[in-house]
Amino acid sequence: MKEKTLNIKKNGVSMLLLLVLLYAAGIGCIVAGCILEENGVPVIWGILVAVGVVWMVLGWIPFLGLTVLKPQEAVVLTLFGNYVGTLREPGFYYVNPFCTSVNPAARTRLSQSGDVDGGTGKALVIANGAGAVNAEVSFGKKISLKVMTLNNSRQKINDCLGNPVEIGIAVTWRVVDTAKAVFQVDNYKEYLSLQCDSALRDIVRIYPYDMAPNVDTTGDGIADEGSLRGSSEIVASRIRDEIQQKVAEAGLEILEARITYLAYAPEIAAVMLQRQQASAIVDARKMIVDGAVGMVEMALERLSEKNTVELDEERKAAMVSNLLVVLCGNHDAQPVVNSGSLY
């Protein structure tokens, strides 16, 4: 079902004035009937009073057709179960009073924590100085066309290596087709929340938390360097595309998806931290050894070029050993002064 936009005139003010005048006329009919009854004209009196009373009893029904739309709001109208159309432009309208507005997600709230109340419309708890007070919330049937943010709760998901990670995302979305949002799914807000969870799991399972060898994250059969921590922009883009495919039938548009939280699960966080520290230590040691070997080679070459001293192979080996100990050691070296001969 596609959205059908109603382009009707914004005649709410004129209809309101007309209905008020008709109410005044109904009161006038009753008054005039009473006056005629006193003057002995029973037939006309009965007609005027009957018309006035009927209008006073049923005249509130046309007032139901008055509706006000604010900017970035829409209302989906149905008449006896049939979809009539959608009002999108802000203004004061008068529509068929028997039309009803439909919004099955009116009582569903997507808070910043990602919780939904299941459409029950439960009362909120408002904290004040005197304590917690239950406040009943009134919901309208209008559909918001504003850009909204869904911050779903963190999820524990296994990455492609089987390591459990906790991840949370923030999704920016809006309604683009009100007819699909209302009639294609039962509750488009809950539908969006569930599809965000599903898409997040589908994408996270493709990537490792950290860069790992022999892992293909693109599906081309070639190992790459993709990871959740190092390729967050790419991962977020794939999550957005995955969610968009799932919610397109609900008339929703996903503008952006961002990773707001990423960490190893608590049960393996300490072990993975030790692993990262060990990897960093190994890399640092490798760099130190490479630099020390280069410095030893340079020292030997300089001594040989300038003929400062002639060393045999055994003394060269001792010199190399001593220099590597000094350059690669964690503590400052304690020099030993040889006051005798070289040999």
Please state the domain extents for the chain: 12-101, 144-264, 279-328
pLDDT at residue 271, rounded to an integer: 65
Q: Residue 122 phi/psi, 5° resolution?
A: -70, 155
Residues 144-264, CATH architecture: 2-Layer Sandwich (3.30)
Instruction: Choose the most confident range, by mean pLDDT, from 133-142, 175-184, 303-312.
Output: 175-184
Measured CA to CA, the distance from residue 174 to residue 252 in angstroms comes to: 6
Pairing of β 100-101 and β 91-94: unpaired
Whether the CA torsion 154, 159, 165, 169 is positive or negative: it is negative
Q: Which tops the pLDDT comparison, 85 or 109?
A: 85
Rounded to the nearest angstrom, the gap between the alpha carbon of residue 305 and the centroid of all alpha carbons in its chain is 68
The residue behind tokens 């300038």 is: 306
To the nearest whole number, what is the mean pLDDT of the chain? 78
pLDDT at residue 254, rounded to an integer: 94
Measured CA to CA, the distance from residue 16 to residue 270 in angstroms comes to: 69
In tens, the pLDDT along 291-312 reads 878 887 887 777 777 776 676 6
Q: Is the pLDDT of residue 252 over 90?
A: yes
pLDDT at residue 40, rounded to an integer: 61
Banded model confidence at residue 105, pLDDT cuts 50, 70, 90: confident
Cα–Cα nearest to 210, from 234, 222, 226, 233: 226
Instruction: Choose the most confident range, by mean pLDDT, from 28-37, 38-47, 66-75.
Output: 66-75
Q: Which tops the pLDDT comparison, 202 or 319?
A: 202
pTM of the model: 0.68
Q: Do residues 146 and 218 make contact, with C-beta atoms less than 8 angstroms apart?
A: no
pLDDT at residue 251, rounded to an integer: 92
